[in-house]
Structure 1
Amino acid sequence: MSVDERREAIARATLPLLMAHGRDVTTRQIAEAAGVAEGTLFRVYENKDAIVDAAVAAYLEPGPFRAELRRIDPGLPLELKVRMIIDRFHDRFAGIFGVFAALGTHPRPPVDVNVDAIVAIFAELLEPELERLRVPPATVFAFVRVVAFASALPHFSSTISLDSAELASLVCRGIAHDPPPAAAEPSAIPTDLPTTERSEPCS
C-alpha cells in the first residue's frame, strides 16, 4: 500500500470514530480501526489533528455525493426522482452537521458548493420532464436544497413529521390546486358586434 493509500485508509477509518467520540478520539482507537500499528499513523501524519483534518476533508469532498446523484435513473417518475434526491441531500446535510458537531470549537473547513456542477446534474435528471416544469432545474435545486437542509437540522427535524415522500410532494405539487378558470362576468358582453339594420316605421 502506497503512502497516499495508507493516508486515505486511515482517514476513512477515523471518520466514524470522530462522529462517535468527537476530538477525544485517541490515536490508539484510530490505529485499531485502520488495522495498523499506532506508530504507523505518525509516519504518514504529523499528529492527531492532521488525521482528524484529513478525515473531515475526505468526507466533505463532493465527488462521491455527486456520483450518488448521478446514479439516480432519469427515466423514473418525477416525484420519485425528487424523493430520492431529497433523501441524498438529507443524508449529506445530516452527515455534515454530525461532523461539525464532532469538531466542537475546532475551525471548520469550508464546504465546496459548486452550484453549477449540481445544477448540471439536476438538468440531466429532470431532462425528461423539462416541458412539464414551471421553473428551471436551478430553481428545483434551490427548493430541494432548502427543504432537505431544514429537514436535516437536528433541533428542527425532531419537531416535524414530514418524510421525504411528503417533501417531494410539496416540491412537485405545492400546497394548493390550480385555481379554477374565472367565470365570465354577465356584463362582459362585447360592444363591437355588428347589429342588424332596423327599418324605419311606415308612414
Structure 2
Amino acid sequence: MTDKPLRAPSLTVEDRRSMLVDAVTPLLTEFGAAVTTKQIAERACIAEGTIFRAFGTKEELIQAAVARQLDPEPFREKLRAVDVGLPLEARVRSIVVLMRERFTTVFTLMTSLGLLGKPHTHDPRREFTEILSRALEPDLERLHFTAERSAQIIRMVSLAASMPMIHLGTGFDDDEITTLILYGIAGHPAGVPEPPSH
C-alpha cells in the first residue's frame, strides 16, 4: 500500500490575501489597472475564483496592494534596523539602497495606476528624518550640517535619483548616490576646514 501524498496546508484568509497582494503588485507595475484576474491567478498559481473569495473584486485587491506600498511602517522598520556600528559610508549607502527601493516601487506603481499626484493621508517626513538622524548620530562631527538637515539631504537626493522624470539621462546607482551625498561633486567645500580625523 502506497502512502497518499500529503496535502499542502490550507492558507488562512489573511495569508491568502497577503499572497494575492504579493502576486498582483509586480503585475500592476507592468499592466496597471488593466491587469486581468486571469493574469493574477496564473502568477499566484491559484484558481481565478480564489481571488473573488478573498477580496470580492479585482479593484479591492488593487486597493489592498496600493495600501501596502503606501504604508510607511515596514519601511521605517528597515531604516531603524540600519546598523549604527557600520562606517559612515556604509551606513549612508544602506539608507540610500532602502530609500531608492521604496521610492522606485511606490512611484512605478502609482504611475502605472495613474495615481501619481494624489495626496497622501499621512506625512511620514518628520518620523523618517528622526530615524535617519539617529542613524547618523555616531558621526555628527564629520558632517557639515545638522543631523536633521543631513537626513533631509539624503532623502531628497535619493528621491530625485529614483524618478527618471527628474534625473533624466543615465540613472545613478547606489554607490554614485552615496558618494554624491557624502562628498558632492568637488570634494570638501572650499574655504571650510575639514573636520579633524579621529
Tell me the TM-score range normalised by the shorter chain: 0.7 to 0.9
2:158 partner amino acid: A
User: What does residue 89 of structure 1 align with?
Assistant: 99
Whole-Å separation in 2 of the counterparts to 1:109 and 1:14: 23
Equivalent in 25, 34, 37 of residue 44 of structure 2: 34
* Larger CA deviation: 93-102 vs 111-120: 111-120
| Distance change >3 Å, CA 162–CA 35, structure 1 → 2 | closer
* Larger CA deviation: 162-171 vs 24-33: 162-171
Confirm whether residue 65 of structure 1 aligns to residue 68 of structure 2.
no
Give the alignment's TM-score, normalised by structure 1.
0.76
In the alignment, structure 2 segments of 5+ residues that lack a partner are 1-10, 194-198
1:154-178 per-position Cα deviation (integer Å, ceiling 9, x unaligned): 2333415543333323322344434
Q: Judge conservation of contact 2:37–2:48 (CA < 8 Å) in 1.
A: yes
Alpha-carbon deviation of 1:121? 1.8
Whole-Å separation in 1 of the counterparts to 2:117 and 2:44: 25
| Distance change >3 Å, CA 104–CA 44, structure 1 → 2 | same
Confirm whether residue 74 of structure 1 aligns to residue 63 of structure 2.
no
Classify the secondary structure of the residue corresponding to 2:142.
coil
Whole-Å separation in 1 of the counterparts to 2:133 and 2:49: 48
Alpha-carbon deviation of 1:65? 1.7
User: What does residue 191 of structure 2 align with?
Assistant: 179
In the alignment, structure 1 segments of 5+ residues that lack a partner are 182-203
| Distance change >3 Å, CA 3–CA 132, structure 1 → 2 | same
1:78-136 per-position Cα deviation (integer Å, ceiling 9, x unaligned): 12221221222112111111101210269957264423321232133112112333322
2:103 partner amino acid: F
* Larger CA deviation: 2-11 vs 102-111: 102-111
2:53 partner amino acid: R
Classify the secondary structure of the residue corresponding to 2:83.
coil
User: What does residue 144 of structure 2 align with?
Assistant: 134
Q: How many residues align?
A: 181
* Larger CA deviation: 130-139 vs 145-154: 130-139
* Larger CA deviation: 21-30 vs 149-158: 149-158
Give the alignment's TM-score, normalised by structure 2.
0.78
User: What does residue 190 of structure 1 align with?
Assistant: none
| Distance change >3 Å, CA 86–CA 104, structure 1 → 2 | same
User: What does residue 6 of structure 1 align with?
Assistant: 16
Equivalent in 122, 133, 149 of residue 159 of structure 2: 149
Whole-Å separation in 2 of the counterparts to 1:129 and 1:47: 51
Whole-Å separation in 1 of the counterparts to 2:73 and 2:129: 14
| Distance change >3 Å, CA 89–CA 106, structure 1 → 2 | closer
Larger radius of gyration: 1
Matches within 5 A, 1:114-125: 114-125=124-135
